[in-house]
Structure 1
Amino acid sequence: MKQFLQLIVFLFFFGIVTAQQTDYVDFKSIDANLNLSSQLKSVNGMYSVEFEILKDVDSIFLDAKNIQLKSEVWENTGIEYTSERPFGERVVKSIVKDDKIWFYDDFKGGLIIKLSFVYECIPKKALYFVDDQIWTQGQGKYTSNWLPSIDDVNDKIEFDLSINHDNGYEVLSNGKLIKKKIGKEYTKWTYDMQKPMSSYLVALAIGKYDKKTETSKSGIPLVYYYYPEDSLKVEPTYRYSKQMFDFLEAEIGFPYPWQNYKQVPVKDFLYSGMENTSLTVFSDGFMVDSIGFNDKNYITVNAHELAHQWFGDLVTATSGEHHWLQEGFATYYALLAERDIFGDDHYYWQLFENAQELITQEEAGQSTSLLNPKSSSTTFYKKGAWSLHALREQVGDSAFKGATKKYLNNHQFGNVNTSDFISEVEKSSQQDLSVFVNDWLTEVTLPEDAIVKSLKKSAFMREYLAINCEEYSQKCKDYLVSNISDKGKIKVVSQISEHLEAEAFINNIEVRQAIAQYVSTIPKELKLEYESLLSDKSFVTIEAALYNLWANFPEERIKYLQKTKDIKGFNDYNVRLLWLVLHLNTIEYQTDNKQVVLNELIGYSLPEHHFELRMNAFNYLKLIGGFESESIKSLILATTHHNWRFSKFAKDLLETLKTNNQYRELIKQLKNN
């Protein structure tokens, strides 16, 4: 009998799994009232889902990984709720199996049904508790790890979330905040979405933030969040945000499709940024001051994630085969936004760098078709952007923009494949694009001749490509005091670094940075000019110049350390950590302070710091042989960090340390304890 019942249940499941669930049911909305516990790292709450039955079916499911039902499932029928029946009139059979919640009943086509229940989970991924922050990453991790939903990107749902959390925090989610109810200990934040989206775009970000607000030309609220201690970083970090928003709305030709646009930095994020609908989450490593802006700013990521609000969020690729419709478009439109800010030369330089990366990939035998779902990020992002650039050149601005607008209009809040876009461009341009599709989308090999031809349409690129100083001549020295582009001068510096003269230092910050990076052996006659690099508004320049000056002029080491003792650098403290190591290796400098300096370096490896700072500290500790029990404990903990790049780094470094007998024994002892 037991085996027979199991067979019945299996057949229920099998019927829906062997066909696409989207053929039988259309999920309309999800409403959840959630409690998040940082102490327990758990989520629980009341949950309702509304769906339309398209065809008769006996079972449907929600994806729900490691989720437990804490109540029966009730069908809401519109009757008055009671304490005995808090969700509705009728219990619907349910079972949690294979990372899904299954509901089985005699579901009739044409009916709209609403089910409610209470659930609880301790997410293993997709929702992260990091110090006093809580934030999500749905793409590639699945929102269903913390919120029952649909992993299939082709079923778009309207999500309305209410979050109960401790007072004193900002709680952000998709859509518009329509209610904020403050209690004695907790605040309830209620967000409303008006349009559907794929489940991977659901987002939460909870932390201690202040905010700055602007309004776009079209009236969309633009909200920039930041840590209270980072008030001086707000303008450099979010610089050009409104300009890029207004530009993209005009360039794309389709109004921004959501109620508002919010951006929030978080600690130890998995990627640079994530384009959650109306709420971009990005790494707080991009929060920069006015000096950091010159070397490492948020502009490209900012523009890329913003472009995704149309390409990815409004229209979503049906499958990985068409992923370029999201990443290629976001990369291309980010390039256009930067072109609007920095000009044509910047645009063509970015295209050139992207082409170089693609060629390197091809030379390594790693090229793939743009339509291969297993392609690299380089292919999806950079070849995708190049393909759109080439297509626009071929069909013209008017046809390209008209087709893009129709493509978005016809498929808004839906799913798309490559032919949906190409067919619109063919109609708009009245061209057969089969050759283009073959050369740029299907073919594995890069169309290098077409790439070079396109780049040479830029006078700036023609000049750059013509410069060749691998054989030194007077002409090359003259380049550095001429009116050629800064990129051209940097190319010259890289090729004749041993022949530079004082006049080369009379250039702007970018060229001077190249001098700091390429000139590691400093002629005595250039010492004064080289020392001036320590005053540049560039943390990259200062870091390189400090090390090179310290190495070349031992008698001046104390002077260089004194000049740079208060500079931290980026959020990974690139200048400060170098300074600490140089301090430890300058015996005559602050001799009584060495242990304090070493302790500071070790301290930066501890879990309370950003993972990039910790990586930097670990690398320096390895370099100087400075690991001890506290830093090795921290390294062992890092092997289980949620950021995969950092955990891999920690595992690899730990294996390297084990080749040292002293470290191997210490690691063994600490692991056993």
Structure 2
Amino acid sequence: MKKLLIFLVLSCFSFSMKAQSQTDFLSAKATLQFDFEKQSVFGSVSYKIKVLKPMDTLKIDAKSMQFSDVLLNKKVAVFQSSKKALLLPGTFKPGTYHLQFNYSATPRQALYLTNINNQQQIFSQGQGKYTSHWFPSPDDQRDKLTFDVSFICESGKTVISNGALKSKTNVAGKTQWNYGFKKPISAYLFAIAVGDFAKIDVPAINKTKREMYVKSSETHLVESTYQHHSEIFTFLERKIGLPYPWEIYRQVPLEDFLYAGMENNTCTFFAQDYVTDAVGAHDKPYANVHAHELAHHWFGNLVTAENPEDHWLHEAFATYYALLAERELFGDTYFSFALLESARDIAAFHKKKPEAVVSTGASSLTYYQKGAWCLFYLNRLLGDEAFDKIVNVYLKTYAYKTATTANFLDLVKKNSKIDVLNFEKNWLRNPNFDTAEALNTLKKFSPDVREYLETSAIVNGKDISTEALRNVYKASNISEIRREVLLQADKLNEADRYELIKLGIADIDWENRQLALALTDSIAKGDCDLFAKTLADSSYVTREIALKKLYLYCPEQRMAYLDALKDQNGLHDYNVRIFWLTLALKSKSGSSEMQLKYYDELLRYAGEDQPTERRQNAFTALFFLDASDKATLRLLPTGLSNHRWQFVKFCRDKIRELLQQEKYRLFFESELANYSPRVGAELKRLLEEKKTN
């Protein structure tokens, strides 16, 4: 089964909590503008703040910002600006204060101004990065406030933020977008996206207005990308038993977004990679991301964790309810095998690093997957009716407030007869994972999983014959069992292995066909046409693998196979096109003029104006073709200043590998002065590593 539980982050988000809050931020009003050339944001802000206890300094989190015209209750205020906050010293008695100021910032994180394929976008990412890097605001997520913000941007761009779009006005040749939000939210959920977007209005559900966005050039991908939107929305409202608690819901894809998705209140941001056609939707399905982020609008946005150790109240619930939504879409078998895969991942991880779900600083796997498993186990203990009732009461009780694990468990105790202390001890606070109990629970729930585990024990046995494996494969209508049989191919002799792989190539399940192709290490001449059918498979990853195998093992028809995929890009990372160009250049097909054209195209995909996953694919291909190509080497360090850490790591690791050879060190030293100050500093740091190691 394809990975279903998608990690939206690679490590858990950090929390900022005040030991004892002395202030309550009530509302924020602002007018903001952006300077793309300077990569900066500036504007005017006013806050209504309630002081709860006598204090000598009023503080608002603000990372490396410049302030002017600071007024407190309409009077000029003395202030200090540190790298972390705006500070107003004085004598503050309990009461309400009005703070106004102008500010500017050039944030290195949390706000990103990108230009990919000549399309400028601006977007924020508050959770895990802190909104206070680009907008002065409280980092403490327990501090909930309303936002009323206007954005002045270049006319022709679409601006998307939280809440209702109240109006648009013309201001000095630009457009001012005026957004208002009546209900209080944590500042990490305040968001902005600017770009060339097309808006698709969809029918309201229970009076909730819904908007879906894509790039203006990609309206033809709306149906395949958002195909399950209404079903997911309707299911979650019905399952939770509480209508969507906000006035509008938007979904916005963004180039080089940091994570798979982010549940900014009323406007989910998600990675552009998930905007695909019907074929790519198999490889990059948006349903899980969509359901997870939508579920957060109840779990996290409506009811927010009080303490860092309660983070599972966000992520476990969103993960579990996303699974439940997929169960509604794809059935019990899909749901059950997702849980089985998750249990195996958790067990493997916890052998090395045991972690409790209710804890501070745990991994995302623990908060998301292990937390979701705790909820599945609790759901089985309680039964659906009692479980749904408790969750519903929990959300109603703590709506627009914060809650703790103890608050949730108290409701379980009051509304059921289960041993809550035992559940808390063995599941929520146990750093280990009871794999045996988990599998027993899952086997009782799912006959398919029970059959799979029993059959898997047989097919993995030492004494099973080739004929028995083949019979199991042909007899089973459970894709996962057939997949398990395919994984035994390496145990067989060459002829039997090949026959088993041929069964996989003809499987009705696209993931089994993909696995069979990946296992292929030869193709008989008479079977080339059978394998060639996978060049038109319902997966771009499968098509890429098929081209590789056919190119290797059916050399007589190489040009025909290349011709079959010559006009396909594949996924957003251009997996098919880049691999096609690699083969075309490696085989030196076409004239020298065409070869140069192919090279220029491949080099272009490694350029700074391309999405990072496409750049990474292109760099990998270029270094495979010629590790000494100067144009490729010259481009590589430009990735060191990218905002996506995954791509920065790729570039950094590749440069470190190259620096093991003196010729490359000399090349990068000679190019050092040609880079921007930021890239030059990063490259110099790597060169210094070489000297010291």
Alpha-carbon distance in 2 for matches of 1:228, 1:335: 31
CA distance in 2, matches of 1:24, 1:667: 53
Q: Structure 1 residue 107: deviation in Å?
A: 2.6
Q: Tell me the CA shift for residue 46 of structure 1.
A: 1.3
Shift of 1:215: 3.0
Q: Is 1:521 paired with 2:522? A: yes
TM-score, normalising length from structure 1?
0.92
Match of 1:68 in 2: 66
Match of 1:492 in 2: 485
* C-alpha distance in 1 between matches for 2:275 and 2:142: 34
Q: What residue identity is the alignment partner of 1:24? A: Q
The reply to whether residue 115 of structure 1 matches residue 99 of structure 2 is yes
1:451 counterpart SS class: helix
**1:248 and 2:248 matched:** no
Equivalence for 1:13: none
Which residue of 2 is the match for residue 202 of structure 1? 190
**108, 118, 124: which is aligned to 2:108?**
124
TM-score by length of 2: 0.89
State the one-letter code of the partner of 2:498. Answer: E
Deviation at 1:153, TM superposition (A): 1.1
Q: How far is the alpha carbon of 1:436 from its aligned partner?
A: 0.9
- The equivalent of 1:546 in structure 2 is 547
Q: Secondary structure of the residue that 1:157 maps to in structure 2?
A: strand
Task: Indicate which of 52, 55, 58 corresponds to 2:56.
Answer: 58
Are positions 1:289 and 2:273 aligned together? no
Distance 1:338 1:488 in 2: 21
In structure 2, relative to structure 1, the CA distance for the partners of 1:669 and 1:574 (3 Å cut) is same
Q: Distance in 2 between matches of 1:332 and 1:456?
A: 18
Q: 2:678 corresponds to which residue?
A: none
Q: Which residue of 2 aligns with 1:616?
A: 617
1: CA distance between counterparts of 2:670 and 2:259?
34
Structure 2 match to 1:641: 642
Aligned to 1:507: 507
Higher RCO, Cα 8 Å, sep 6+: 2
| Higher alpha-carbon deviation: 611-620 or 457-466 | 457-466
- Paired residue secondary structure (1:70): strand
8 Å CA contact 1:222, 1:242 repeated in 2: no
Contact 1:22 1:155 (8 Å CA) reproduced: no
Match of 2:689 in 1: none
CA distance in 2, matches of 1:240, 1:25: 43
Most deviating of 554-563 and 20-29: 20-29
Distance in structure 2 (CA, Å) of the matches to 1:367 and 1:56: 43
Write the letter of the residue equivalent to 2:76: V
Query: 2:425 matched to 1:424?
Result: no
Q: Is the 8 A contact 1:395 1:429 kept in 2?
A: yes
Q: Does 1:358 align with 2:357?
A: no
Shift of residue 214, structure 1, vs aligned partner: 1.4
Matched, 1:93 2:72: no
One-letter amino acid matched to 2:298: W
Amino acid at match of 2:232: M
| Contact 2:501–2:520 (CA under 8 A) maintained in structure 1 | no
- Amino acid aligned to 2:22: Y
Aligned residue number for residue 144 of structure 2: 156
Match in the other structure for 1:327: 315
Deviates more, 1:132-141 or 1:466-475: 466-475
User: How many Å apart are 1:593 and its aligned residue?
Assistant: 2.0
Deviation at residue 572 of structure 1 after TM alignment: 0.6
Secondary structure in 1 matching 2:153: strand
CA contact (8 A) 1:34 1:43 kept: yes
Q: Deviations over 1:619-642 (max 9, x none)?
A: 112222255333223211101211
Cα distance change, pair 472–576 in 1 and its aligned pair in 2 (3 A): farther
Match of 2:324 in 1: 336
| 1:63 maps to amino acid | D
One-letter amino acid matched to 2:25 = F
C-alpha separation in 2, matches of 1:93 and 1:423: 47
Displacement of 1:95: 2.0
- Establish whether residue 43 from structure 1 lines up as the match of residue 41 from structure 2: yes
Correspondence 1:207-246 to 2 at 5 A = 207-246=195-234
Displacement after TM superposition at 1:229 (Å): 1.5
1:654 aligned to 2:655?
yes
Residues 176, 192 of structure 1: 8 Å contact kept: yes
String of CA shifts for 1:378-419, please: whole Å, max 9, x gaps.
111100100000001011212211111111111111112111
Deviations 1:104-128 (A, max 9, x none): 343322x222121211111121111
Partner of 1:79: none
Using the TM superposition, give the Cα deviation of residue 362 of structure 1 relative to its aligned residue in structure 2, in angstroms: 2.2
**Counterpart of 1:8?**
none
Residue of 463, 471, 479 corresponding to 1:478 = 471
Match of 1:584 in 2: 585
Q: Are 1:367 and 1:379, in contact at CA under 8 Å, matched by a contact in 2?
A: no
**Number of equivalences:** 640
Whether the 8 Å CA contact 2:303–2:402 is kept in 1: the answer is: yes
Q: 1:400 touches 1:429 (CA, 8 Å); kept in 2?
A: no
Task: For residue 50 of structure 1, report the CA deviation from its aligned partner.
Answer: 0.3
Secondary structure class of the residue paired with 2:252:
strand
CA distance in structure 2 between the partners assigned to 1:532 and 1:494 by the alignment = 22
Quote the offset at 1:162 in angstroms: 0.6
Q: Distance in 2 between matches of 1:661 and 1:55?
A: 63
Residue 33 (structure 1) aligns with? 31
Is contact 1:34–1:45 with CA below 8 Å preserved after alignment?
yes
1:568 to partner: Cα distance: 1.1
Determine the C-alpha separation between the residues in 2 that align with 1:151 and 1:459: 47
SS, match of residue 354 in structure 1 = helix
Q: Per the alignment, in what secondary structure is the counterpart of residue 205 of structure 2?
A: coil
In 2, distance between residues paired with 1:35 and 1:615?
Answer: 33
SS at match of 1:429: coil
Q: Return the letter of the residue paired with 1:119.
A: Y
Q: Distance between the aligned counterparts of 1:239 and 1:627, measured in 2?
A: 45
* 1:558–1:589 Cα contact (<8 Å) kept: no
Contact 2:70 2:99 in 1 (8 A): no
Aligned to 1:193, what secondary structure does the other structure show? strand
| Residue 522 (structure 1) shift | 2.1
8 Å CA contact retained: 1:606, 1:631: no
Q: 1:33: how far off?
A: 0.8
- CA deviation string 1:535-576 (max 9, x = no partner): 212111111111011111222211211111111110111111
Distance 1:294 1:501 in 2: 22
Q: What amino acid maps onto 1:443 in structure 2?
A: N
Distance in 1 of aligned mates of 2:53 and 2:125: 33
Root-mean-square deviation (CA, aligned residues, Å) is 1.8
1:194 shift after superposition: 1.0
What are the Cα deviations for residues 10-56 of structure 1, in whole angstroms up to 9, with x where unaligned?
Answer: xxxxxxxxx95854321100111111111221211111100222223
Distance 1:114 1:94 in 2: 14
The CA distance in 1 between the partners of 2:589 and 2:136, in whole Å, is: 63
Residue 503 of structure 1: how far off its partner (Å): 5.1
Whether contact under 8 Å (2:72, 2:97) holds in the other structure is no
Structure-to-structure mapping, 1:352-391, within 5 angstroms:
352-363=340-351, 365-391=352-378
Q: Which runs of 5+ in 1 are unaligned?
A: 1-18, 76-87
Q: CA deviation at 1:346?
A: 0.6
Q: Which residue of 1 aligns with 2:383?
A: 396
- Cα deviations by residue, 1:281-336 (Å, 9 ceiling, x for unpaired): 11101111111012211111111111111111111112321111111111000000
CA contact (8 A) 1:216 1:246 kept: no
SS state at 1:304 partner: helix
1:143 aligns with 2:144: no
Q: Which amino acid aligns with 1:257?
A: P
Q: Which residue type is aligned with residue 222 of structure 1? A: R
C-alpha distance in 1 between matches for 2:278 and 2:130: 37
Q: Which residue of 2 aligns with 1:410?
A: 397
The whole-number CA distance in structure 2 between the counterparts of 1:266 and 1:20 is: 33
Inter-partner Cα distance in structure 2 for 1:588 and 1:296: 32
Instruction: Using the TM superposition, give the Cα deviation of residue 459 of structure 1 relative to its aligned residue in structure 2, in angstroms.
Output: 1.2
AA partner of residue 122 (structure 1): T
